[in-house]
Amino acid sequence: MAVEKFSISLPEELLADIDEFADQDALTRSGLIREVVTEYVSRRRSTAYEEERRARILGAIEGFKRLAEEWGPDDRTAVELLREVREESINDE
């Protein structure tokens, strides 16, 4: 993995805290900042993924609700429906 170097500006108080925590964890300043940024990016990606996943699930639920309204009640069990779909699939081949 390539490593890029760049400069950042931080308030003195924050830099002092960074140095203190880096010393406690036996890390360099760069090492501590790298860990913190990695955790932040991971958390943001995870949050975005969960939001997208939730939106897909809610969309699927809405689709099922529309189908239920369109098709009306059905007394068949899920197993019966699966068997029917499988039979249709086999007959279509």
Structure confidence by residue, pLDDT tens digits, 27-53: 999 999 999 999 999 999 999 999 999
**Interior angle at CA 58, CA 56 and CA 60, nearest 5:** 70
- What pTM value is reported for the model? 0.55
HSE-CB for 88 with a 13 A CA cutoff: 6
Decide if 18 contacts 33 (C-beta within 8 A). Answer: yes
Question: Does the structure show a pLDDT above 90 at 5?
Answer: yes
